[in-house]
């Protein structure tokens, strides 16, 4: 039983990382209906930025983390402005946007592959790898910190979207972008801001992910991002609580697959869940079934 | 009526002659090994025509149906393994074994296409992109783990090299012809109408799921065939041969050539087989993916319909134009 609970906590910790990344996908999809394939690679960029700040520049931890967060958020805005903004404002077909996103993703991957040739890098993880005792079970400190940080961030995001003016603009734009524009909302800026927040959350996810899986490589973002997107679809794309729920479900499912000794099939399980979900309830757990009007 | 038929017959005749002339020219080029120093060997030309099959079949899904598929190499992998296992284990003469193996590879790819296609093609939206991307990864995992059958990560080797240039060439011409005919048929128009407007197509009586699945399965079938040809060309396949980057490479051929232009796919498939080879020749192979990504983004930003757009090369139009030009351009049709 204890082992089961331990695995559950591991799963929740992995799942909350998925959830953080899924939020970025979900918010962007909610507004511009784009699967931002480059979102996973933002995680990779944040890890490499941390590596550069900590190992190469030798900056202290308390400088490195904010620096990484800011740089990643700025990168999100730059990508949006350079690659997507033109297409979104022109109103091109969705497939063109998707292909651009794939282009951006490969661009980031191959650029970092060229810069940091080595296969896998690492910096000194800052959380000690010890266990803490909690109600008679002993989960690792890392997973508990991951879960707590993620929960706090998700709560903050929910409050932000509910209470602030920018959050209101984001909700308006995701409901009907052109109507929002008519009401005087600068949708282009809202989209850029959404990218910034998404990238920020991805950067946090990247830093937390590294604590548990300390390897950095240019292609690490691909599968992680993809699973996070699956989490967003399972939860109902465009919905913030959905992204959280989807992430947690996926993380737990994956941890359980690993714990019964089928670790090489864990990717297959993730996509299996997606297929089942698409067959049973395509709009996702928290998604609204919107009828299309002509 | 009779005149029209005669004309069509003549055009077809000219097309067939051109196809054969091109074959003879390429065969001479390969046999004499003129371009071998820069790496344009017979393997290279075979790869080029395999890429044509892949690009044209993917164009059916991405260009004509308007759905993004990111796992074309996955279907290729299924076809390659199926075909290779048949030719390795069966002891039949080549002219029975090889067509059988290719066909089985194609059909196996169709089976996997059904598994991937049915859940997501019922729905609107970009689910196909996600699921095919996942499929490409899962197929890699499966091929690595089925050690008894596929020899795991080290892959299958000693596959008989049945893919002579002639086979590859004529199969790829046949593929282009079949897909072209499909596009021009009633069914092809239904597929294109889905791309243009799903709701309008549905209200005109087009069965969306049926036609989406139909186009997707045809593409999977030809990807499987291409996989079989690939395996019998190189003689060695491993799960990582057919990775995400390969799928993307095929997608770039479609996008560069023009989504919705078969001519474009053929031209782009040739160009994107030649460019990496030249890069490799100049020792710049590591910049290949970077170059591809920049091509993708630049095309989407500045020329979203690719180089050719929806243009199709047509022999009869060309002949007509030539005729009119020789008559001094006085005739106005």
Give the percent of chain B with pLDDT over 70. 96
For chain B, the average pLDDT equals 86
B199 closest CB neighbour out of A264, A271, A294: A294
Q: Stretch A48-64: mean pLDDT, rounded?
A: 87
Of the candidate ranges A5-9, A166-170, A251-255, the one whose mean pLDDT is the lowest: A5-9
Q: Does B286 touch chain A (CB under 8 A)?
A: yes
Residue B308 phi/psi, 5° resolution? -95, -15
Q: Label residue B329 exposed, middle or buried (CB < 10 Å: 0-12, 13-18, 19+).
A: exposed
Look at B290 and A264 and tell me if their CB atoms are within 8 Å: no
CB B26 within 8 A of CB B165: yes
Q: Stretch A107-130: mean pLDDT, rounded?
A: 81
Q: Does B302 touch chain A (CB under 8 A)?
A: no
**Is A85 part of a structural domain of the chain?**
yes
Q: Which residues of B touch A110 (CB under 8 A)?
A: 287, 289-290, 293
Residue B54 in this model has a pLDDT that exceeds 60: yes
Which residues have C-beta within 8 Å of that of residue A78, sequence separation ≥ 6? none
Q: Does B305 touch chain A (CB under 8 A)?
A: no
Give the Cα separation of A15 and A19 in Å (integer): 6
Look at B130 and A95 and tell me if their CB atoms are within 8 Å: no
CB B332 within 8 A of CB B286: no
Give the Cα separation of B161 and B89 in Å (integer): 14
**Is A116 part of a structural domain of the chain?**
yes
Name the residue range of residue A211's domain. Answer: 13-221
**Is A99 part of a structural domain of the chain?**
yes
Give the percent of chain A with pLDDT over 70. 97
Confidence label for B332 from pLDDT (cuts 50, 70 and 90): very low
Q: Which residues of B touch A226 (CB under 8 A)?
A: 130, 133-134, 137
**Is A278 part of a structural domain of the chain?**
no
The pLDDT, as a whole number, for residue B327 is 63
Please name the residues between 253 and 282 in chain B that touch chain A, using a CB distance below 8 Å: 255, 259
B68 closest CB neighbour out of A98, A268, A278: A98
Our count of domains for chain A comes to 1
CB B41 within 8 A of CB B237: no
Give the Cα separation of B142 and A48 in Å (integer): 31
B156 beta partners:
B237
Confidence label for B330 from pLDDT (cuts 50, 70 and 90): very low
Look at A268 and B289 and tell me if their CB atoms are within 8 Å: no
Q: Which residues of A touch B67 (CB under 8 A)?
A: 95
Look at B66 and A229 and tell me if their CB atoms are within 8 Å: no
User: What size, in residues, is chain A?
Assistant: 294
Look at B131 and A103 and tell me if their CB atoms are within 8 Å: no
Look at B286 and A270 and tell me if their CB atoms are within 8 Å: no
Look at B248 and A106 and tell me if their CB atoms are within 8 Å: yes
Residue B309 in this model has a pLDDT that exceeds 80: no
Read off the pLDDT of residues A242-275 as tens digits, 9 standing for 90 and up.
888 999 999 999 888 888 877 778 888 888 888 8
Look at A267 and B287 and tell me if their CB atoms are within 8 Å: no
Longest dimension (CA), chain A: 59
Look at A114 and B129 and tell me if their CB atoms are within 8 Å: no
Q: Does B285 touch chain A (CB under 8 A)?
A: no
Q: Which of A23-37, A213-227, B180-194 has the highest mean pLDDT?
A: B180-194
Q: How many CB atoms lie within 10 A of CB B323?
A: 10
Look at A267 and B300 and tell me if their CB atoms are within 8 Å: no
Residue B326 in this model has a pLDDT that exceeds 70: no
Look at A275 and B119 and tell me if their CB atoms are within 8 Å: yes
Look at B134 and A270 and tell me if their CB atoms are within 8 Å: yes
The pLDDT, as a whole number, for residue A293 is 58
Q: Which residues of A touch B129 (CB under 8 A)?
A: 35, 98
Give the Cα separation of A131 and B147 in Å (integer): 38
Q: Does B130 touch chain A (CB under 8 A)?
A: yes
A140 beta partners:
A131
Look at B293 and A104 and tell me if their CB atoms are within 8 Å: yes
Q: Which residues of A touch B141 (CB under 8 A)?
A: 264-265, 267-268
**Is A251 part of a structural domain of the chain?**
no
Q: Which residues of B touch A96 (CB under 8 A)?
A: 300, 304
Residue A131 in this model has a pLDDT that exceeds 80: no
The first and second tokens of residue B193, run together, are 């109408």
Read off the pLDDT of residues B234-249 as tens digits, 9 standing for 90 and up.
888 998 888 888 898 8
Look at A110 and B290 and tell me if their CB atoms are within 8 Å: yes
Q: Does B68 touch chain A (CB under 8 A)?
A: yes
Confidence label for B333 from pLDDT (cuts 50, 70 and 90): very low
**Is A5 part of a structural domain of the chain?**
no
The pLDDT, as a whole number, for residue B329 is 43
The pLDDT, as a whole number, for residue A149 is 92
- For residue A89, give how far its alpha carbon lies from the nearest alpha carbon of chain B (Å): 12
Of the candidate ranges A72-76, A113-117, B213-217, the one whose mean pLDDT is the lowest: A113-117
Confidence label for A1 from pLDDT (cuts 50, 70 and 90): low
Of the candidate ranges A243-252, B35-44, B285-294, the one whose mean pLDDT is the lowest: B35-44
For chain A, the average pLDDT equals 86
């Amino acid at each position: 039983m204890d082992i089961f609970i331990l695995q559950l906590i591991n799963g929740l910790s992995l799942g909350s990382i998925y959830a953080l990344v899924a939020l970025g996908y979900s918010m962007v999809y909610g507004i511009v209906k784009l699967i931002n394939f480059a979102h996973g690679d933002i995680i990779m960029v944040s890890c490499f930025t941390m590596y550069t700040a900590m190992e190469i520049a030798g900056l202290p931890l308390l400088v490195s983390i904010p620096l990484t967060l800011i740089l990643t958020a700025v990168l999100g805005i730059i990508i949006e402005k350079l690659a997507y903004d033109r297409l979104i404002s022109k109103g091109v077909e969705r497939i063109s946007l998707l292909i651009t996103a794939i282009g951006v993703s490969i661009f980031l991957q191959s650029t970092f592959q060229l810069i940091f040739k080595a296969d896998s890098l690492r910096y000194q993880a800052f959380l000690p790898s010890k266990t803490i005792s909690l109600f008679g079970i002993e989960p690792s400190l890392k997973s508990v910190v991951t879960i707590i940080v993620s929960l706090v961030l998700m709560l903050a995001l929910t409050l932000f979207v509910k209470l602030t003016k920018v959050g209101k603009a984001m909700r308006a734009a995701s409901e009907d972008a052109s109507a929002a524009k008519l009401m005087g909302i600068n949708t282009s800026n809202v989209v850029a801001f959404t990218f910034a927040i998404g990238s920020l959350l991805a950067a946090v996810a990247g830093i937390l992910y590294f604590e548990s899986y300390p390897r950095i490589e240019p292609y690490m973002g691909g599968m992680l991002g993809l699973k996070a997107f699956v989490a967003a679809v399972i939860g109902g794309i465009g919905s913030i609580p959905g992204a959280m729920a989807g992430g947690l479900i996926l993380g737990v499912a994956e941890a359980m697959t690993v714990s019964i000794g089928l670790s090489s099939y864990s990717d297959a399980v993730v996509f299996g869940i997606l297929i089942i979900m698409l067959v049973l309830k395509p709009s996702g757990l928290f998604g609204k079934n919107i009828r299309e009007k002509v | 009526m009779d005149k029209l038929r005669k004309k069509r017959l003549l055009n077809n005749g000219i097309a067939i002659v051109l196809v054969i002339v091109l074959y003879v020219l390429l065969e001479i080029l390969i046999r004499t090994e003129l371009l071998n120093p820069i790496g344009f060997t017979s393997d290279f030309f075979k790869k080029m025509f395999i890429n044509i099959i892949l690009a044209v079949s993917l164009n059916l899904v991405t260009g004509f149906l308007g759905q993004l598929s990111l796992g074309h190499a996955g279907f290729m992998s299924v076809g390659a393994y199926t075909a290779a296992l048949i030719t390795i284990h069966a002891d039949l003469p080549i002219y029975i074994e090889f067509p059988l193996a290719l066909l089985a590879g194609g059909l196996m790819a169709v089976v996997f296409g059904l598994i991937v296609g049915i859940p997501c093609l019922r729905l609107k939206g970009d689910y196909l992109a996600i699921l095919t991307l996942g499929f490409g990864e899962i197929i890699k995992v499966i091929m690595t783990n089925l050690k008894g059958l596929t020899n795991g990560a080290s892959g299958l080797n000693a596959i008989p090299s049945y893919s002579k240039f002639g086979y590859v060439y004529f199969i790829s011409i046949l593929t282009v012809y079949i897909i072209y005919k499909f596009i021009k048929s009633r069914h092809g128009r239904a597929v294109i109408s889905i791309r243009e407007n799903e709701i309008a197509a549905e209200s005109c009586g087009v069965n969306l799921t049926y036609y989406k699945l139909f186009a997707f399965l045809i593409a999977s079938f030809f990807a499987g065939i291409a996989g079989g040809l690939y395996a019998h060309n190189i003689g060695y396949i491993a799960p990582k041969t057919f990775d995400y980057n390969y799928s993307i490479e095929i997608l770039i051929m479609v996008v560069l050539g023009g989504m919705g232009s078969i001519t474009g796919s053929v031209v782009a498939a040739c160009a994107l087989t030649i460019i990496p080879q030249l890069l490799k020749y100049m020792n710049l192979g590591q910049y290949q993916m970077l170059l591809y990504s920049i091509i993708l983004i630049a095309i989407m930003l500045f020329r979203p319909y690719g180089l050719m757009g929806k243009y199709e090369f047509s022999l009869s139009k060309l002949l007509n134009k030539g005729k009119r030009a020789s008559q001094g351009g006085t005739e106005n049709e």
